Amino acid sequence: MENKTFAELGLSSKVQAAITAAGYSAPTPIQAAAIPIAVTGQDVLGIAQTGTGKTASFVLPMITRLETGRARARMPRSLILAPTRELAAQVAQSFEKYGINNKLSLALLIGGVSMDDQVKKLDRGVDVLIATPGRLLDHFQRGRVMLMGVEILVIDEADRMLDMGFIPDIEKICKLLPPRRQTLFFSATMPPEITRLVSQFLTNPERVEVAPPATTAKTITQRFQYCPNGEDWAKREVLRELIRETNVRNAIIFCNRKVDVAILNKSLLKHGFSAGALHGDMDQKSRMETLDKFRSGELKLLAASDVAARGLDIPDVSHVFNFDLPWQSDDYVHRIGRTGRAGKEGHSTSLVTIDELKNLKDIEKMVGQPVEWIGEGPTEEDYAEAGKKKRRGRGGRGAAQRGGRGSRPEAGSQARVDDAARGEGRSRRGGERRSGGQPKEGGERREREQRQPEQRAPRREQHDAPRAARPQAAPDAQPRAQQASARPQQVTASGNGPRQPRNASTEPRNAPAPRQERQRQPEQQRSSGFADNIPAFLRNPVKRPAKVAGE
């Protein structure tokens, strides 16, 4: 397999001429195994580690098969699905390089760029459509592309699609395609969900596997630097020393979080390094400009999130630094696979804190070789401590002890308790008193008891003037129940009966009102000041008597 040449793979003469012009003489193992099968039109399931030339293994046979035929408007002849914009753009570059002798039209559907230009190309008809799943479905739902004419489907980096949550979109797209088509399916690993997808949408595929899944290239030298002080500022100091001491031609520095990518890039620029940033929150134009500057050598360092970990073909990357160890051991393989590509020598260095020692064990088990430390490595006590406690916040357990970012969890917890107590107090008091005071049942009841009738007299005089003329006993010498029974009943807006007083909570429930008072109520209401506000037809009923409450 390794001794084959491109002339033996069944490619057309135009494609072979383009390969020779690009400077390639011998195919990689995945290319030698997959291209002869793909040229015949059979489905292919390709499993190979990153950096082995998977892109050319489906681009070259596609160009050969698409040399005959003609594209129709809005009906692409072939479809390539890629998980990220950068990978889709990279595949488009490969088609332009290897299809230089062919007149194949191409359209790239990715986010972050104008849809108008994409629509114009689709309207003219394209032979090759390269897209991310989300943008393709967007165009399809708008009626701008029809997929019933697709002859070849390529799904690249399928396991990455799974990680990014694109599998439901892939299933929708596959159901829109004609059943009689060729499918080329490539993945670095084969988790159960990917296996289910293969059995559902591929027809008798030929399995091509040239390397065990999730293994690192032997051309990469892997080293690890232990950082007892796990604070980010301390790790940045260690990283700068490693870059200065090592012969770094160019390097990609990986972080787990997008915000850390921006902070690290700012720090590198501040200390005089030629650096750029690449993460998912950047617009497409900025991402492509940064990649072009890094490829051309204008930028020496590229701080990136895992958006750059898979599929990007950046040639001649001499070093890869892991500022943070990845959470998944598979991501470690894809990260360091950015260097040591196509048989070239590469170097990877990973910074390790005490909270990442557990992840390091998983990586060591997967790689299958002992860890090589730069300087002094962690002690057995460090490993024991790493297994006892989990990280707290961004800085981890060590940060909580050292007073860095993520420290003082006790103070934060107490603050949350205090906030909850204040919120509970506000909800109990109905927002009447925001701080201090007593609960409603105690404080407000005492306030009602301390209010004297003469304090409320001005309010009553507006609606209950005759009551002031009636003799009453002193409030202190008269029980509250008798005071309540002596208060006049107010007429409701409809005039049909009495309304309960506002302070009903202070009166005994089910206290029977005297019979004589209830009978005299209508007369009192007619003579009260409140009666002046009642409409005439309610004040002087003619044909029917007013209803009395309780009857």
Q: Are residues 333 and 252 in the same domain?
A: yes
**Interatomic CA distance for residues 60 and 67, integer angstroms:** 11
pLDDT of residue 431: 41
Instruction: Please say if the pLDDT value at position 95 is more than 90.
Output: yes
Q: Are residues 233 and 203 in the same domain?
A: no
Query: In this structure, what token pair is assigned to residue 440?
Result: 């409603």
pLDDT of residue 542: 55
Instruction: Please say if the pLDDT value at position 115 is more than 60.
Output: yes
CATH number at residue 67: 3.40.50.300
pLDDT of residue 530: 52
* C-alpha pair distances (Å), 89 with each of 1, 30, 53, 278, 281: 30, 22, 16, 15, 18
**Which range is most confident: 263-277, 348-362, 493-507, 536-550?**
263-277
Count of structural domains within the chain: 2
If you average pLDDT over residues 434-460, what whole number do you get? 46
Of 328, 357, 388, which residue is a domain's last? 388
Let me know if residue 256 belongs to a domain.
Answer: yes
Q: How many CB atoms lie within 10 A of CB 104?
A: 19
**Interatomic CA distance for residues 44 and 55, integer angstroms:** 13
Q: Are residues 30 and 143 in the same domain?
A: yes
If you average pLDDT over residues 65-94, what whole number do you get? 91
pLDDT of residue 522: 47
Q: What is the Rg, in whole angstroms, of the alpha carbon atoms belonging to the chain?
A: 39
- In the block, which residue shows the tokens 């383009």? 18
pLDDT of residue 457: 44
Which residue pairs, CB below 8 angstroms and at least 24 apart, start in 102-111? 102/14, 102/15, 102/63, 102/66, 102/67, 104/63, 104/66, 104/67, 104/128, 105/71, 106/130, 107/76, 109/135, 109/136, 109/139, 109/145, 110/85, 110/135, 110/284, 111/85, 111/135, 111/284
Of 176, 209, 242, which residue is a domain's last? 209
pLDDT above 90: percentage of residues in the chain: 40
Residues 149, 152, 156, CA angle at the centre, nearest 5°? 130
Q: Are residues 22 and 109 in the same domain?
A: yes
b/e sequence 8-41, b meaning 16+ C-beta within 10 Å: ebbbbebbbebbeeeebeebbbbbbbbbbbbbee
Q: How many CB atoms lie within 10 A of CB 124?
A: 13
pLDDT of residue 53: 84
pLDDT of residue 280: 78
pLDDT of residue 474: 45
* C-alpha pair distances (Å), 101 with each of 94, 98, 152, 262: 13, 8, 20, 42
pLDDT of residue 536: 61
Q: Are residues 33 and 163 in the same domain?
A: yes
pLDDT band with cut points at 50, 70 and 90 for residue 366: confident
Let me know if residue 418 belongs to a domain.
Answer: no
pLDDT of residue 288: 83
Q: What DSSP state is assigned to residue 442?
A: I
Q: Are residues 103 and 150 in the same domain?
A: yes
**Interatomic CA distance for residues 66 and 492, integer angstroms:** 87
Let me know if residue 456 belongs to a domain.
Answer: no
Instruction: Please say if the pLDDT value at position 208 is more than 80.
Output: yes
pLDDT of residue 156: 92
Comparison of pLDDT for 81 and 337, the residue scoring more: 81
* pTM of the shown model: 0.56
pLDDT of residue 204: 93
Q: Are residues 298 and 344 in the same domain?
A: yes
pLDDT above 70: percentage of residues in the chain: 67
If you average pLDDT over residues 341-350, what whole number do you get? 84
Exposure of 209 by Cβ count < 10 A (0-12 exposed, 13-18 middle, 19+ buried)? middle
Q: Taking all residues of the chain, what is their mean pLDDT, rounded to a whole number?
A: 76
Instruction: Please say if the pLDDT value at position 321 is more than 70.
Output: yes
Of 337, 370, 388, which residue is a domain's last? 388
For residue 349, list its beta bridge partners. Answer: 223, 321
pLDDT band with cut points at 50, 70 and 90 for residue 85: confident
Q: What DSSP state is assigned to residue 489?
A: P
Name which of 474, 512, 466 is nearest 490 in CA terms. 466
152-155 vs 182-187, strand pairing mode: parallel
pLDDT band with cut points at 50, 70 and 90 for residue 133: very high
Q: Are residues 144 and 230 in the same domain?
A: no
**Interatomic CA distance for residues 77 and 72, integer angstroms:** 8
Q: Letter for the amino acid at 525? A: Q
Q: Which domain does 52 fall in, by range?
A: 6-209
User: 69: alpha, beta or left, given left = phi > 0 and alpha = psi -120 to 50?
Assistant: left
pLDDT band with cut points at 50, 70 and 90 for residue 518: very low
Let me know if residue 334 belongs to a domain.
Answer: yes
Comparison of pLDDT for 217 and 8, the residue scoring more: 8
**Interatomic CA distance for residues 530 and 498, integer angstroms:** 13
Q: Are residues 228 and 367 in the same domain?
A: yes
Helix (H, G, I), strand (E, B) or coil at 142: coil
Q: Are residues 229 and 355 in the same domain?
A: yes
Q: Which of 17-21, 57-61, 247-251, 476-480 has the lowest mean pLDDT?
A: 476-480
If you average pLDDT over residues 350-362, what whole number do you get? 90
- In the block, which residue shows the tokens 């309960």? 500
Let me know if residue 486 belongs to a domain.
Answer: no
Instruction: Please say if the pLDDT value at position 334 is more than 50.
Output: yes
Q: Letter for the amino acid at 128? A: V
pLDDT of residue 424: 40
Please measure the distance between the N-terminal and C-terminal CA atoms of the chain and give it in whole angstroms. Answer: 105
If you average pLDDT over residues 158-176, what whole number do you get? 91
pLDDT of residue 255: 94
Instruction: Please say if the pLDDT value at position 478 is more than 80.
Output: no
Instruction: Please say if the pLDDT value at position 28 is more than 80.
Output: yes
- Please provide the DSSP assignment of 28-95 as one string: -HHHHHHHHHHHTT--EEEE--TTS-HHHHHHHHHHHHHTSS--BTTB-SEEEE-SSHHHHHHHHHHH
Instruction: Please say if the pLDDT value at position 249 is more than 60.
Output: yes
Comparison of pLDDT for 416 and 147, the residue scoring more: 147
If you average pLDDT over residues 93-98, what whole number do you get? 93
Q: Are residues 329 and 195 in the same domain?
A: no
Let me know if residue 105 belongs to a domain.
Answer: yes
Let me know if residue 76 belongs to a domain.
Answer: yes
Instruction: Please say if the pLDDT value at position 504 is more than 70.
Output: no
Let me know if residue 543 belongs to a domain.
Answer: no
Q: Are residues 180 and 249 in the same domain?
A: no
pLDDT of residue 470: 47
